[in-house]
């Protein structure tokens, strides 16, 4: 049983192809695309921040050749029939969403996947050891997944990603405004992507281009 975990600390829907130019995402994208095309049964995306995790999750979803089944553990709709799909994406694997019912559901799904040689892509906000899983057999199976570490991006890479996100929204930002953001705003990628979303909203509401005065209204 070949499995890997992606342990990344990163944050609108994008495809993996669009993100390949960002060096800090190359290893991540390589592992996801490899999983889509190889014989491995499981992949676990371990991403702490919700916004970043959903960003990567949807990029992966948009890049798979057919429509996989999506199981969101937050919704508490646990239908075993979903595992009959060749590819299942499981969202929000966390200590907040796990209980006796969901753990048994995941354990049975894990075993079905192995027996039928299908695939599951898990998306979690923490390491398996920190999820406080009560069902020991489930924890032992998930713990067979080995972590792959990805380094935090440098500021220049963060700037490039924010530029990309704004361009996808039809917006442009000058160096002066970008430097202002990185001087007066949190530099973690989750906060920066959230800021890009807010800049998109306020620039369209006020019908103005991005300026320092506009940035000041939201930071």
Full DSSP string of 8-33: E-------HHHHTTSHHHHHHHHHHH
Rounded distance between C-alpha atoms, residue 97 and residue 102, angstroms: 8
Rounded distance between C-alpha atoms, residue 205 and residue 211, angstroms: 14
pLDDT, tens digit only, all 219 positions of the chain: 555 655 544 445 689 999 988 888 888 899 999 999 999 999 999 888 787 888 889 999 999 988 899 999 999 999 999 999 999 999 999 999 999 999 999 999 999 999 999 999 999 989 999 999 999 999 999 999 776 666 678 899 999 999 999 998 889 999 999 999 999 999 988 899 899 999 999 999 999 999 999 999 998
Tell me how far CA of residue 195 lies from CA of 109, 166, 192, in angstroms. Answer: 38, 10, 5
**pTM metric for this prediction:** 0.85
Percent share of the chain, pLDDT over 90 = 68
Res 10: pLDDT = 43
Residues 6+ apart with CB under 8 A from 111: none
Res 32: pLDDT = 94
Question: Do residues 132 and 98 lie in contact, with contact meaning Cβ atoms separated by under 8 Å?
Answer: yes
Q: How many beta carbons lie within 10 A of that of residue 209, not counting itself?
A: 12
Half-sphere exposure of 79 (CA within 13 A, CB side): 11
pLDDT by residue (tens digit) across 181-214?
A: 999 999 988 899 899 999 999 999 999 999 999 9
Which one, of 124, 12, 110, 119, lies nearest residue 66 by Cα?
119
Question: Do residues 3 and 146 lie in contact, with contact meaning Cβ atoms separated by under 8 Å?
Answer: yes
Res 5: pLDDT = 57
Res 11: pLDDT = 44
CATH class for the domain made up of 3-149? alpha beta
Q: In the chain, at which residue ranges do the beta strands (DSSP E only) sit?
A: 3-8, 42-47, 69-72, 87-93, 119-124, 146-149
- Count of positions (residues) in the chain: 219
Res 9: pLDDT = 46
């Amino acid at each position: 049983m070949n499995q890997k975990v992606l342990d990344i600390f990163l944050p609108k829907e994008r495809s993996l192809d669009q993100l390949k130019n960002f060096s800090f995402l190359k290893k991540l994208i390589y592992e996801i695309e490899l999983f889509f095309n190889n014989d491995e049964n499981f992949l676990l995306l371990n991403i702490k921040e919700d916004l970043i995790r959903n960003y990567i999750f949807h990029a992966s979803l948009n890049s798979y050749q057919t429509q996989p089944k999506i199981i969101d553990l937050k919704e508490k709709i646990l239908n075993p029939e979903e595992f009959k799909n060749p590819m299942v994406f499981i969202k929000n694997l966390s200590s907040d969403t796990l209980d006796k019912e969901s753990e048994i559901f995941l354990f049975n799904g894990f075993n079905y996947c192995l027996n039928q040689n299908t695939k599951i892509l898990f998306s979690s906000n923490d390491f398996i050891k920190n999820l406080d899983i009560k069902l020991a057999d489930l924890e032992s199976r998930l713990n067979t997944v080995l972590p792959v570490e990805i380094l935090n991006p440098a500021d220049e890479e963060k700037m490039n990603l924010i530029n990309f996100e704004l361009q996808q929204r039809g917006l442009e930002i000058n160096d002066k405004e970008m430097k202002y953001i990185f001087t007066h705003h949190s530099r973690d990628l989750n906060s920066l992507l959230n800021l890009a979303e807010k800049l998109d909203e306020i620039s369209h509401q006020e019908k103005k281009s991005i300026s320092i005065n506009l940035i000041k209204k939201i930071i």
